[in-house]
Every structure is written in C-alpha cells, then in structure tokens.
Amino acid sequence: MKLAFSTLGVPAMAVPDVVRLAVAHGYHGVELRAHHEEPVHPGLGPGQRAAVAGAFEESGVEILGLAGYARVAAPGDDAPVLAEIRALLELARDLGAPFVRVFPGGDPDRAQEEGDAVAARRLATAAEYAADLGVRVLLETHDSHRTGADAIRVLGPVGHGRVGALWDVMHTWLGGEQPSDTYAALSPHLGYVQVKDIASADDRTPLPLGAGTLPLAECVEVLSRHGWDGWLCWEYEKRWYEAAAPLPDLLTPGREHLARLLNEAA
C-alpha cells in the first residue's frame, strides 16, 4: 500500500513546503484540501495549476486527491452542488489527481430515503463529468452516511465506476461498524482509506497514529487479508484543533507506525 498525508494537518502551508515535507518524511503522496483558505482551490488560474502540478511531478510525490466540500445529499437545488463538483473535477484533471472527495451532508430531519435518492441522482450526473475528465468522485463515510452500510445505499444505485467510496476509519468506528463489515460493503467501490487516531468518541482531538483508540491494526489487517493495494492517507485534523501537536514532527513516526502495521498484517 502507498502512504499519504492530508494538508489538513499543515493548514495553509505553501505547496513547495508540503512537497518538501512529503519527500523528507518518506510519503508517496499528499491529499490536498481544496478550499479557498488553502493554496490549492478551484479558483486557481491555468498558470497556477501548472505550477502546482509541476512541483509535485518534479519531486516524485503524487497528488492523491482533492478533499472537497460538496455535500451531495444536502437539501436544495442540484445545480450548485453539481457545479461545485465539476469545478473540483476540472482542478483534479489539471493537477493530475485521480480522486475528488465529497461529503454526504444529508439533513437529519429529512427521511433517509429522500437523502439517499438525492445523493444518488447527483452522483450519477457527476459520474458523467468525471468520466469525461478521467477523475473519480469518492463519497466519504461521514456525517449523515457514516458507515459503509450507509454509503452503499447511495453507491449501489449509482452503479458507475467513476463514483466510489472513501473510507474514513473514524466515522465508521463512531457508527459502530466493524472494519470487516465496512470492507465488505465498500470493497467494490473503494478508492482509498483515511486513517487517523483519537482518544475517544467524546474527545476527537487528533493524536499520533497508534496513540488513540481507533482500530487501525484491524483495518490494515482486513485490507491486507483481502489483497487490497491502494492508499492509506493520514488525515490529521490540526486545522480544527489548535491544541493538537504540530504534524511535521509526527510524520516520520506515523509512517513508521503504518509500516509496522502493514508488516504485521503481511
């Protein structure tokens, strides 16, 4: 498996510095948070996009994906959501990134079936954009669709190879789902896996990998046992937790921890 980290852990860090971090600490790739607060977002012009792509290409570090914020199950008109996804897909195409992340974002006060149908409809339309651009849209296990069982209610009806799943191990754990059950649900659709660690369901301050309660070893074991050979991406949510330790000093120990889990699973 290949290892990446998310720029959520290094808020607003310039692209050359992110690339240097990845090289220095032995990561194969980086997930870029695609938001106007960050250096990489859909508002970049052609020259800026070329510069970002070039910086990664020269280093040998891959852009794993763009972490976008479109909410496909949210109430409202389809057009703004689809426009947001399309802008992310075009940016991913220009940067050479294979994946774009979207959230479910369903309304808890609306019937589950209605939110599922809205999300499936929007993702089916987005799949056609994605196919034209050579990028894949991934629905993250998150908020209203926290588990693999939740996500598959949307992904199954879409049934398109350009729409898949991003397994966030914290949210499936918070949803009470076992790693083997998550994998069984998502394996036909799985794009990549976000790993992280926290102290408890009540304290989600990011911790160094292996220092918390999330079932990382079980997740890696399930993936290895089934021969899955994709990406593990460390999403260290420093942006939301000022008290969390800075990510750069944790990157090498984190990579070494994941490597140990992979060796043990093998």
Model pLDDT, residue 35: 95
Can you give the pTM of this predicted structure? 0.98
Tell which phi-psi region holds residue 75, choosing left (phi > 0), alpha (psi between -120 and 50) or beta.
beta
Instruction: Give the pLDDT confidence score for residue 148 in this predicted structure.
Output: 98
**What integer pLDDT is reported at residue 24 of this predicted model?**
98
Site of tokens 């990664």 = 56
CATH number of the domain at 205, please. Answer: 3.20.20.150
Distance between CA 52 and CA 47 in Å, rounded?
9
> Which pLDDT tens digit goes with each residue over 195-208?
999 999 999 999 99
Averaged pLDDT for residues 168-194: 98
Question: Which residues neighbour 8 within 8 Å (Cβ) at sequence distance 6 or greater?
Answer: 33, 67, 235, 236, 237, 238, 239
Q: How many domains, the chain? A: 1
User: What is the arithmetic mean of pLDDT over 7-26?
Assistant: 97
Are the CB atoms for 102 and 162 separated by under 8 Å? no
Average pLDDT for the chain: 97
pLDDT for res 63: 98
Calculate what percentage of the chain has a pLDDT beyond 90.
99
pLDDT at site 78: 98
Q: What confidence score (pLDDT) does residue 122 get?
A: 98
Torsion of CA 20, 23, 25, 31, to 10 degrees: 80
Label residue 215 exposed, middle or buried (CB < 10 Å: 0-12, 13-18, 19+). middle
pLDDT tens digits for range 40-75: 999 999 999 999 999 999 999 999 999 999 999 999
CA 188 to chain centre: 17
pLDDT in tens, 146-172: 999 999 999 999 999 999 999 999 999
Q: Which tens digit of pLDDT belongs to each residue from 66-120? A: 999 999 999 999 999 999 999 999 999 999 999 999 999 999 999 999 999 999 9
Quote the CA–CA distance of 53 and 12 in Å, as a whole number: 17
pLDDT of residue 93: 98
Query: By residue range, what is the domain housing residue 109?
Result: 2-265
Q: Looking at residue 132, what is its pLDDT?
A: 97
